[in-house]
A and B are shown apart, each in its own frame.
Chain A
Amino acid sequence: MASNIPWMTRLVRMNCFAKQRIYPIAISIFQDGNLTLNHVVQQQRTYDVKNDSTDHGENFSISPPKIENKPTTKTITISRAMKAYMERAKSHDNMMKAEVADYEIGKRHLANIMGEDPDNFTQADVDRAIEYLLPSGLFDKKARPLLKNPYEIFPKRKVAQFSLDGRPLHWLYFTALPNFYSILHDITCKMEDLKALEDKLLSENKTEDLNVPPLNLASSEWLTYQQLKDKFVEKVQEKDYQHFLVMMERLVSHPLSHRELPFIMAFRNMLTNESLDTNPPQIEYDAEGRSFSCAEGTRKDSWAYVKLYMPGTGKVTINGKDLSYFTNFLYRESLLFPLSLAGVIGQVDIEAEAMYGGPTGHCGAIRLAVSRALCAFVDKDVKEKLRLTGMLTRDPRKRERKKPGQEGARKKFTWKKR
């Protein structure tokens, strides 16, 4: 009866399958494989995931399969995954070896072309030689020709994440992003610990431990998305990166977060102190013994060159004219900004030469050049003030281009229905 109705048949068949479920039998596929442990040790990868966080006591490197280094004659079984991995690794290593050999030969060729010693030809020399021999006008730096160590160019790879018998080493292996998720897990654990500690301190009325100044993290910033991916050697998604940031911010905003400072700093880039890296122009002396400094400035399309005499009388010369070179009062006032800030109005002489562009550009370029030239004479505090007011920054704003299909940069044509 059942066979008359097709779906019923199927049901019956399924039922019968449910009863006699077939279980995969563990059969070792490489029973006759003659690979010994010594053999495996020889095939270990020679380079490892770069461990750059040892300073903070954190270890993100992936430990290779643990193999006791005792020589033994006993044959062991190696899982198919491990075998495939070893083949992959071997071919990759061979490929890299060939690439490195090519690189070394290329370097020597370059050195010979440049007429320099091939044995002492450094990477800096290579870059210089390539820039000289193959000048490229391409805007994107990635599109320009380069010759670099293959290990810098080819993406890093993880060593085997599983042991010889094919079992994963990491407990988060099946998340596909074990390093990333273990860090998220760490953050959560640390957060919970801090919360518990805070509760404990509060219950014991130890408020002085809680009222510590907040972490000074202004001097650093979070690793970028790319850096994080490189650090973990995992394909972390952009949204996961944002999630990571949010979790880290949460940890940082905890009043006791200073206890986890090394952990936090492992994920931050140190920033340079902007006030330190100003490179002031030198003080020079002319034939009459007057001290002056020179600087260049740009704004929009304009370019200006300024000679600033420090003990002066407030004389200003722009392209052979005095301050009346600018008909607009606005520009004259603008020129006074750095001088007024440094408190040297009437104490300096300015000789400026401005080219290209219009008066606004000239004024901005001269202002920048004057500020830069002033740095040679003023002390550190004033220099810092000049920086904080943005006087030493080149204004990057330019005329916005006209767009096709539009009347101007933003303006649209009058809309007509037909």
Chain B
Amino acid sequence: MATPLNKVYGVMKVVLYVRKTCPLQFASRLNPCFHYSLIQVSRMSQYHPKYVDPIINKDELAEGIPENDIRRHRPIKAPTTDRSISPLFYDPTVNKFTVMMMKGGNKERVREIMRGLFENLKHTQIELWNKAKTDQERHAIECNPIEIFKKAIENCEPLLMIKRVVKGGVPYRVPVCARPNEKTFRAMKWIIESCRDKERRLPMENKLAWEIMDAYNNQGKAVRKKQEVHKICESNRAYAHLR
């Protein structure tokens, strides 16, 4: 990626390209003299634009940073309280899910639910594992709750989404390709919503555990929701060119 960019003499091109594709620290890596005044920074950030993001990865830290890395000469942002360098305590997907489920800033309650959820998942899988007769069956059973959780979310991710486009005063429902962040967001939202029904007065962690196990096996409400969206997209495929 670095070579073709160096060949481009028009830096504006590089800047525009970088602005679209990668965050500041990568931009500076591509072009070591990258000037931060050339990019738009977050308007309300409390940090001066010269601050750069921290490295929160033990492998990357052990490797060290190269001589011409911009982080040698810039102050580093402090990580938020919920970031941790230990993979035991921090996983980006789990963290995102936690934050999305949170209501009124009560994060500790959600973290409790998440702990309960992983415990339930583990119990279910261990039970299955114990019941399994042959080694082959046992091998097929995934016992890591985090892996199950991630796989379930992946199963719920839609490929296409519906976008409302008004052309000549007539609204069309146009199927568009879902962006990665949007995909994960939708998947998580559907899982959480499907567990928030008022009929079954059960602990959230139980409902979530069932939903996630279902989604892991490509069943359940959230997966059905995804299929519905796909079906709508399929029926509106004639408008796909309108996007």
Residues of chain A at the chain B interface (Cβ within 8 Å): 191, 195, 214-219, 221-222, 242, 245-246, 249-250, 252-255, 271-275, 327-331, 333-334, 336-337, 340-341, 360, 363-364, 368, 385, 387-398, 400
User: When the two chains form their complex, are residues B81 and A218 in contact, meaning their CB atoms are under 8 A apart?
Assistant: no
CA distance A274 to B70 in the complex (A): 10
Q: Are A390 and B11 in contact (CB under 8 A)?
A: no
B21 within 8 A of partner (CB): no
Once the chains are docked, how many angstroms separate the CA of A60 from the CA of B83? 50
Contacts A253-B9, A254-B9, A274-B73 known; A245 to B37 CB distance under 8 Å? Answer: yes
B33 x A274 contact (CB < 8 A): no
- Interface residues in B60-99 (C-beta closer than 8 Å to A): 61, 65, 67-86, 89
Are A330 and B107 CB-contacts (below 8 A) given A253-B14, A390-B78, A391-B78? yes
User: Which one of A246, A271, A336, A400 contacts B12 once the chains associate, using CB atoms below 8 Å?
Assistant: A246
Bits for B1-21, please: 1 = Cβ < 8 Å to A, else 0: 000011111111011000000
| B61 pairs with A388, CB closer than 8 A | yes
Which residues of the partner chain B approach A389 to less than 8 Å between Cβ atoms?
54-56, 61, 76, 79, 85
Q: Are A388 and B85 in contact (CB under 8 A)?
A: no
Listed in ascending order, the chain B residues whose CB lies under 8 Å from chain A are: 5-12, 14-15, 28, 31-33, 35, 37-38, 44, 46-47, 51, 54-56, 58, 61, 65, 67-86, 89, 107-108, 111
A400 to B46, CA, bound (A): 10
Complex Cα distance, B75 from A272, in Å, reads 10
- Least CB separation from A221: chain B residue: B35
Closest A residue, CB atoms, query B82: A330
Q: Which residue of A lies closest to B8 (CB)?
A: A253
- The chain B residue sitting closest to A387, CB to CB, is B76
B76 touches A396 (CB 8 A): no
Given A218-B70, A218-B73: A250 touches B11 (CB 8 Å cut-off): yes
The answer to whether B8 touches A390, judged by C-beta atoms less than 8 angstroms apart, is: no
User: Distance (Å) between the CB of B41 and the closest chain A CB?
Assistant: 15
A337 to B81, CA, bound (A): 10
Known contacts A215-B32, A216-B68: A271-B73 contact under CB 8 Å: yes
Quick check: B55 and A388 within 8 Å, CB to CB? yes
Name the 4 nearest CB pairs between A and B, nearest first: A390-B54, A217-B33, A249-B11, A271-B73
What residue in chain B is nearest A217 (Cβ atoms)?
Answer: B33
Chain B min CB distance to A335 (Å): 10
Known: A253-B9, A328-B107. 19 other contacts (CB 8 A): A214-B68, A215-B32, A215-B33, A219-B72, A250-B11, A255-B6, A255-B7, A274-B72, A275-B72, A327-B108, A328-B111, A333-B86, A341-B58, A341-B85, A385-B61, A389-B76, A391-B79, A392-B76, A395-B78
Q: Which residues of A contact B14 (CB under 8 A)?
A: 249, 253
Q: Choose from B6, B31, B46, B54 the contact partner of A388 (Cβ within 8 Å).
A: B54
Chain A: minimal CB distance from B22 (Å): 16
Contact indicator B78/A334 (Cβ below 8 Å): no
**Chain A: minimal CB distance from B165 (Å):** 27
Q: Which residues of A contact B55 (CB under 8 A)?
A: 388-389
- Nearest chain-B residue to A275 (Cβ)? B72
Q: Is the CB of B86 within 8 A of A330?
A: no
* Chain B nearest CB, measured from A258 CB (Å): 12
